[in-house]
Structure formats: structure tokens, C-alpha cells
Structure 1
Amino acid sequence: AVGDMEVMLSRVAVNFIFDQIDIFPLLNQLSGLRYGHDEELYATLMTTPEIGLPGGFHPKCLNNSKPQHITRLTQWSTQYYKFEKF
């Protein structure tokens, strides 16, 4: 199986996940899914206002927005592309 799950988190958000909240109940609940555990985990953490993830976004932003991705850069190979500073 091939997947394409990517997430961009700030250091503050990573520290929050590891130091401020207990994600194991959510992980246990998601482990019952047949597939998509990682996609569901990060989507839930980032869009649930009650969790309060630093750098997350409110679901209202998703409902009012047309883009399908918030951020994304997939670099499959360094052989053909050279990325300069943005």
C-alpha cells in the first residue's frame, strides 16, 4: 500500500502534543479504523478548537475556504530539482 500523509507542525505544537495533552485515548480510538489513522489523528488535533493546538485552525476556516491544502511541498527526489530560498 502507498500513502501520502504529510503534516507541518511548529515546534510549539509538537511540544504541546507531547507535554500538554494525552493523545493516547484518541490514538486508541483511531486504532479501530481500518486505515487512515495518521490522517485522522493530525486532522483532529489541528481542527478541534477544544484541543487548542497552537497553530491549529478552526473548522470554520475550512468551511469558508476553497483550497484543498493548507500547506504542502513534496520533494520526491533531489536529483532533478534544486529549491532556492522562498
Structure 2
Amino acid sequence: MTTKAISVTEFKAHCLDVIRKVEQGGAAVELTRRGRVVARLIPAAPASQGTPPWLRLRGSGVLTMQPEESVLEAEAFEAQGSTSR
């Protein structure tokens, strides 16, 4: 992977263009301050086209209550229903 060095000031002035070039070209960019590398901008790894996370998690949960049980107390329902007007 090729690497290009630019100053933080130049990056600030042209950040969207620099990010676009890293994204499209795949070249890393080193950000420098006073000639010293302070950060690196590298292309992200390609996203996997596998199974979406929500499908991978399907069926992995554990039901700890009965379906008719509630996590709220009966008083909470009563408090919601009573409104003063």
C-alpha cells in the first residue's frame, strides 16, 4: 500500500477530497504536524457480504420469563392510566 504524507493544515483545508481519494484509490495518508506523523488515514476493510448481524443473532436469545409475565408492576400501568385534567 502506498502512503502519502500531508500536513494537518492541508488535511483540514481539503479533508473531504483526501478522504475520497483514500476511499477510491486505496492509498493511505499520513497526517503530519511539524514533520512528525501524528495520525494515519487508511482505507477501511471491505464490508463482508455475508449474513447480516441481526440474522446471525436470531435464535441466540434466552427467554427468562413466561410470555404472559410483565417486567412492569401493575402499579406502573395504573399510574400511566390516571391523568389529572
TM-score (norm 1): 0.22
Which is higher, the Rg of structure 1 or of structure 2? 2
More strand by share: 2
